[in-house]
Structure 1
Amino acid sequence: MRTVREIQGSPTDERPPHWREEVTGLAVPVEVTSDCEWYHAELGMVELGPVQVTSVLTAPCTVHRPSRLIRRSDPGLFQLNLIWSGGNVLDQDRSQTPVASNEMVLYDTSRPFRIAARPTAPNSVVQGAGIMFPRTLLPLTPAQVNRFTATRLSAREGVGTLLSEFVARLLHDPEQYQTDDAIRLGTVLVDLLAALLAQELDGDCALPADTRQRTLLLSVQAFIHQNLGDPELSPSLIASAHNISARSLHRLFQPQGSTVAEWVRARRLERCRRDLADPSLSHRPIHAIAARWGLTDPAHFSRLFRAAYGVSPQDYRHQHRRPGGSRVHLSLPAVPR
């Protein structure tokens, strides 16, 4: 991630309590104004091909994109604002849309808008993310999309939660991704948004088949991660939870180069490896760590671990207790290619 802009001001630097500054480091220029005696904002950006993801941490302010800035630059982009703490109010097309924590709103940057960022407590901030992308990338008709612009969307359940968590993981450690991953990750983000809107349209029949498949795989993988500790987690249970047949589930995982069971086992072993290297868990027995992630047979776990990493769980833990032991880096869940 690179910082696009850090904005700050206070009366002590001869700037009045009400001040205005134009932010041009984003895909579309906007104006920021604030009535705070001291104002501070941090923006960080990740480029995913034509998709731009921006982290936002800001004190109370108003972001405005007037007609004159649109005339200066109009690349034809949609923006999805995702709020994790605090809230804001979007004003576009004479409609005001309040957005609270764990909610989202989609709007068109080709039309004037105003967003008021409002923390929920004194001396606090608004934290969230913005996803900006060309309108042409969304595999829905303009009429379908227009039903959801300037409309509050939930990030608390279903595909909305999946989208929110995906963005959070991406912004947490973007350096772990290679340049070649950028286009693929941008496609995943747009697919998740399309799936969310299609869900609101009461069905995903409006989506292209490849978009439905990629979104379904992400949903299945998220379900697996949430249930790794369940020893009964199986392909049949996973398929049932997503209303598909076991055959369809196995077909979904074929491009990943592994079976469903192999993918689940690899994720469990990754979690166990992480816990074994964690000094704060050094008091926990190895069999308890394995059981925490659904591997309840100690002997079987030991064989699986040695086959995957070339050492026993005990030796692996011992290596990571020594000063200078290598640090384990775990990647994010795989996303469809």
Structure 2
Amino acid sequence: MASQQNDLHAPPRALQFTTQGIAPLSRIQHWESHNAKALISLDIRTIDESPLHATELNLQFPSLRLARVQGTPQIVERSESFIRQNPTDVVAVFFALAGDAFFYHRRGHETLKPGQAIMYDADLPFMRGFAAGLQELVLTIPRPLFREFSGGTSLNQPVRFDFGPGAGTQAQELARMIGSALVSEPPADDTEKAVLELFRLIASGGKAGSGTGYLAAAKGYIERSFGDPGLGTAEVAAAVGISERQLGRAFADAGLTPGRYVLGLRLDRGRELLASPAAAGMTIGEIAAVVGFSSQNYFARTFKERFHTTPLQIRKATRAGIQLD
């Protein structure tokens, strides 16, 4: 157990690929080579004779791999013979960001639209196609870990779920965290652990969650909803799918309370707006309302307690070109 915990703190390896500068006739070969090294081995071909254009950002953690993939129309496949030569022993989750895609498997086919994700065992045959181009996030996780998270269940057919607006909080936050990690330099220290625990919630159908996963999902919901002055612990707990007591314990384990976290986020966003040239035309009262305060006086009082200065002083300093600590 100690070695696993140490592994989770190992720094991720970042990789990057682009077809720019590669001779058109060699691009597919290089694209396949990069995916084999960084993500999943794939048999790739274009739909027509147009040159392939593709980019990929990758993060390789000890227990999972993340990617953001963009490309022109193409078909990717893992047939039975290809899998025998290139086994992966991973479960993959593909998050569609733009354009419709088809997903053929041995039991039928699925259509994937933006805001939808599909989870599948990468060592079972499949074919994916992107007639309008490819833009997605990808997560891969070792099959033994998936079985642990899912209670021993094998993924014999694809599972599709939503992660866009209106979808479950866990799925939304999982996609957001993957996307954020790929553009952060470096990613947050707890990224791998949080992604794993959010994935555990989804893989188990919400039956095997941990405090870390619930905390990540709750923070994500709060960050999307903090501007609502009526936001409370009951709403956050319901969105995450746990009781208020469980929510309180998840925050307490991190040395926080839900209420203080909401307040701190509102104050941080308020300070950002006060110092932002883009919000120079907003009054302090308008900024207070935007970040979820129903009272300007309460905003000013708690702001001074937190930052030892007033919103008005921040606004004046910003206009004078003075940066306050």
TM-score band, normalised by shorter chain:
0.7 to 0.9
Shift of 1:225: 2.5
Q: Give the one of 305, 317, 320 matched to 1:319.
A: 317
Q: Give the one of 190, 194, 198 matched to 2:204.
A: 198
Q: State the secondary structure of the residue aligned to 2:309.
A: coil
Shift of 1:88: 1.9
Moved more, 128-137 or 244-253: 244-253
Contact 1:19–1:33, Cα closer than 8 Å, also in 2: yes
What CA distance in whole angstroms lies between the structure 2 residues aligned with 1:67 and 1:98?
Answer: 22
Q: Give the one of 127, 131, 135 matched to 1:127.
A: 135
Q: Give the one of 42, 60, 66 matched to 1:53.
A: 66
Shift of 1:212: 4.0
Contact 2:274–2:311, Cα closer than 8 Å, also in 1: yes
The superposition leaves residues 53-77 of structure 1 with CA deviations (integer Å, 9 ceiling, x where unpaired) of 0001111011233456544543411
What CA distance in whole angstroms lies between the structure 2 residues aligned with 1:68 and 1:81?
Answer: 22
Counterpart AA for 2:180: R
1:224 aligns with 2:230: no
What CA distance in whole angstroms lies between the structure 2 residues aligned with 1:219 and 1:266?
Answer: 17
Q: TM-score, normalised by structure 1?
A: 0.78
Contact 2:97–2:114, Cα closer than 8 Å, also in 1: yes
What CA distance in whole angstroms lies between the structure 2 residues aligned with 1:186 and 1:194?
Answer: 12
Aligned counterpart, 2:37: 25
The superposition leaves residues 162-185 of structure 1 with CA deviations (integer Å, 9 ceiling, x where unpaired) of 3222323333x321535xx2xx42
Shift of 1:319: 3.2
Which sections of structure 2, spanning at least 5 residues, go unmatched? 1-12
Contact 1:286–1:313, Cα closer than 8 Å, also in 2: yes
C-alpha change, 1:164 and 1:36, in structure 2 (3 Å) is farther
Aligned residues: 304
What CA distance in whole angstroms lies between the structure 2 residues aligned with 1:112 and 1:241?
Answer: 36
What CA distance in whole angstroms lies between the structure 2 residues aligned with 1:141 and 1:278?
Answer: 48
Q: State the secondary structure of the residue aligned to 2:25.
A: coil
Shift of 1:86: 0.8
Q: Percent identity among equivalent residues?
A: 21
Contact 2:118–2:158, Cα closer than 8 Å, also in 1: yes
What CA distance in whole angstroms lies between the structure 2 residues aligned with 1:315 and 1:146?
Answer: 58
C-alpha change, 1:73 and 1:290, in structure 2 (3 Å) is same
C-alpha change, 1:302 and 1:9, in structure 2 (3 Å) is closer
Shift of 1:239: 4.3
C-alpha change, 1:312 and 1:26, in structure 2 (3 Å) is same
C-alpha change, 1:154 and 1:244, in structure 2 (3 Å) is closer
The superposition leaves residues 128-180 of structure 1 with CA deviations (integer Å, 9 ceiling, x where unpaired) of 111011112221144x3425x32332223113333222323333x321535xx
List structure 1 segments (4+ residues) > 6 angstroms apart after TM superposition.
Answer: none
1:43 aligns with 2:51: no
What CA distance in whole angstroms lies between the structure 1 residues aligned with 2:224 and 2:63?
Answer: 31
What CA distance in whole angstroms lies between the structure 1 residues aligned with 2:61 and 2:50?
Answer: 36
Shift of 1:267: 0.8
Contact 2:177–2:191, Cα closer than 8 Å, also in 1: no
Aligned counterpart, 2:10: none
Shift of 1:3: 4.5
What CA distance in whole angstroms lies between the structure 1 residues aligned with 2:241 and 2:88?
Answer: 40
The superposition leaves residues 97-129 of structure 1 with CA deviations (integer Å, 9 ceiling, x where unpaired) of 22121111112222343221222xxxxx32111
The superposition leaves residues 221-277 of structure 1 with CA deviations (integer Å, 9 ceiling, x where unpaired) of 233233322323333454466665543332221112122221111011111012112
1:115 aligns with 2:121: no
C-alpha change, 1:137 and 1:319, in structure 2 (3 Å) is farther
What CA distance in whole angstroms lies between the structure 2 residues aligned with 1:141 and 1:265?
Answer: 37
Contact 1:84–1:128, Cα closer than 8 Å, also in 2: yes
What CA distance in whole angstroms lies between the structure 2 residues aligned with 1:57 and 1:241?
Answer: 31
Counterpart AA for 1:175: E
What CA distance in whole angstroms lies between the structure 1 residues aligned with 2:88 and 2:235?
Answer: 45
1:64 aligns with 2:77: yes
1:1-337 matches, cutoff 5 A: 2-7=14-19, 15=25, 22-23=32-33, 24-34=36-46, 35-67=48-80, 69-93=82-106, 95-119=108-132, 125-138=133-146, 139-142=149-152, 144-146=153-155, 149-156=157-164, 157-158=167-168, 159-171=170-182, 173-178=183-188, 181=189, 184-199=190-205, 204-205=206-207, 207=208, 211-239=209-237, 244-323=242-321, 325=323
RMSD: 3.0
Q: TM-score, normalised by structure 2?
A: 0.80
